[in-house]
Amino acid sequence: MDEEALSRLIAVTGPAGGRNSALAVAAARVRGAAAGCCAVILTEGVSDQIAISSLAARRGRDLDREGVFVVPMGGATNVGHFLDLFGPRGLAARLAGLCDEAEQDDFRRGLQRAGLGPDLERLGFYVCVADLEDEMIRSLGAVAVEHLIEAQGELRPFRTFCKQPAQRNRAPEQRLRRFMGTGSGRKIHYGRVLAEALDLTRIPRPLDRVLARV
């Protein structure tokens, strides 16, 4: 990937379609290191990036010192560009990642085009059902997550949200997940809140495995 293409990618794949500072840092550090010395964990979005980083810190890991960079891609459809940059035909970092269940085919195609093959888990890419928030909500339990929402001062808007006709027949876990996807910055905020509340003996498998990979 040339510098112009990298600059475009940095400019549009960060939070709310803005600058991706994590990508800029990772590209610079990986470029300056020997091949294979750094690792990059690719995530679909910023909430996943924050959850992984928060859990790593709780486990006593300093990812930056270890040369491990968690990089959001601004959506699964961008995975090919990131694999071009960090994969074997680019900067040759060690790779891992998380993807949502609905987006696994995008990841599989991107990995194949990068010359890595289609087997996601063998390559260090793990599928969340349905996404990472869903995995963490199920691990914590709906009642515990409601208590977290209350602690954030958002129980009233959550109750109002649950009264919407589209939400009335959903399972509690589904309503919680949907609520976290509403409002500016809410999903990113709860990525950290949920990760910091997880029982370290009951970490969702995709989250546990992606950190173990690097």
Q: List the domain range (segments joined by +) for residue 155.
A: 132-197
CB within 8 Å of 166: residues ≥ 6 apart: none
Provide the number of structural domains found in the chain: 2
pLDDT band at residue 49 under the 50/70/90 scheme: very high
Do 120 and 56 share a structural domain? yes
pTM of the model: 0.95
> What distance lies between CA 63 and its chain's CA centroid?
15
Spatial CA neighbour of 92 closest among 39, 130, 163, 44: 39
Cα distance between residue 6 and residue 2, in whole Å: 6
Do 95 and 139 share a structural domain? no
Do 121 and 20 share a structural domain? yes
Do 43 and 147 share a structural domain? no
Span 171-185, pLDDT tens digits: 999 999 999 999 879
pLDDT band at residue 1 under the 50/70/90 scheme: confident
Do 98 and 87 share a structural domain? yes
Span 74-94, pLDDT tens digits: 999 999 999 999 999 999 999
pLDDT of amino acid 5: 93
Query: What would the mean pLDDT of 44-51 be, rounded to a whole number?
Result: 96
Do 37 and 88 share a structural domain? yes
pLDDT band at residue 36 under the 50/70/90 scheme: confident
- Per-residue pLDDT for 108 more than 90? yes
pLDDT band at residue 195 under the 50/70/90 scheme: very high
Do 176 and 136 share a structural domain? yes
Half-sphere exposure of 22 (CA within 13 A, CB side): 27
Mean of all residue pLDDT scores within the chain: 96
DSSP, collapsed to helix, strand or coil, labels residue 69 as strand
CATH code for position 63: 3.40.50
pLDDT of amino acid 35: 81
Do 187 and 82 share a structural domain? no
pLDDT of amino acid 16: 85
Do 26 and 82 share a structural domain? yes
